[in-house]
Amino acid sequence: MTSYYPIMLNISGKQVVVVGGGSVATRKVTSLIKAEALVTVVSPELSPKLQQLAKENVIQWRKKSFSSEDIKDAFLIIAATNSTNVNKLVSKSASPNQLCNIVDNEALSQFIVPSVVQRGPLTIAVSTSGANPKLAKKIKQELEVQYDDTYEDYILFLQKARRQIIEKIKEPKAKSELLEQLLDSQFLTLTKAKKFDEREQLLKRILKTKTFSK
């Protein structure tokens, strides 16, 4: 089995080509748009959702069958057609310096896409390295329950609080202790209870304590 190297890839503003216009391609395009990629779809036909995205100029649509010229400028390529032969042709046409994913054949892919739970800046990825995608999906569903929508606000709060600590506290030891205190379960409990004012007051108290103890 292939041993994969996990990585979070910044594709904002990068040229990405998706070959295929059906339901699988639609899911791939949706996630690529969220990552702010510049998406081109190559397919004679598109799903209704992709047609709407093309109409709104969110994606570019090449209404044609695939040819090797379609991916020459792509940073990342996803072959998501229902034709094994077309998907193989996409893989064969990609250069060694391009990242290419063949949705029905991980052996021909330079990368695979994990199941993902997204809560604002928090991203939790699950992969079985292609061994059993359904297990990855099951684990994802379990994580979605454990890390519910509350975590988006919680992570944004932690992000803001971390900036405050870094800006206000200069002594390394005190800074490290405060960053550790941010993980106190009280902050998450107050977030889940939507007691945001109390959460801010708690943060102010611990900041004040460290400020005065310098």
User: Tens digits of per-residue pLDDT, 54-93?
Assistant: 999 999 999 999 999 999 999 999 999 999 999 999 999 9
Find which of 1-15, 159-173, 180-194 is predicted with most confidence, using mean pLDDT: 180-194
What average pLDDT does this structure show over 32-42? 97
User: Rounded to the nearest 10 degrees, how much is the dihedral formed by the CA atoms of 186, 188, 190, 192?
Assistant: -150
- The pLDDT value recorded for residue 189 is 97
Question: Burial of 202 by CB count in 10 Å (0-12 exposed, 13-18 middle, 19+ buried)?
Answer: middle
- Per-residue confidence band for 133, with pLDDT thresholds at 50, 70 and 90: confident
158 contact partners, CB below 8 Å, separation of at least 6 = 182, 187
Beta-strand pair 115-119/122-126: antiparallel
Spatial distance between the Cα atoms of 160 and 144, rounded to a whole number of angstroms: 24
Whether the pTM exceeds 0.75: the reply is: yes
Element (H, E) at 115: strand 115-119
Percent of the chain with pLDDT over 90: 86
Alpha-helical runs (H) found in 56-124: 84-93
Closest C-alpha among 86, 79, 85, 83 to residue 17: 79
Spatial distance between the Cα atoms of 50 and 59, rounded to a whole number of angstroms: 8
Dihedral sign (CA 169, 174, 176, 182): negative
Q: Are 155 and 119 in contact (CB under 8 A)?
A: yes
Is 134's pLDDT higher than 80? yes
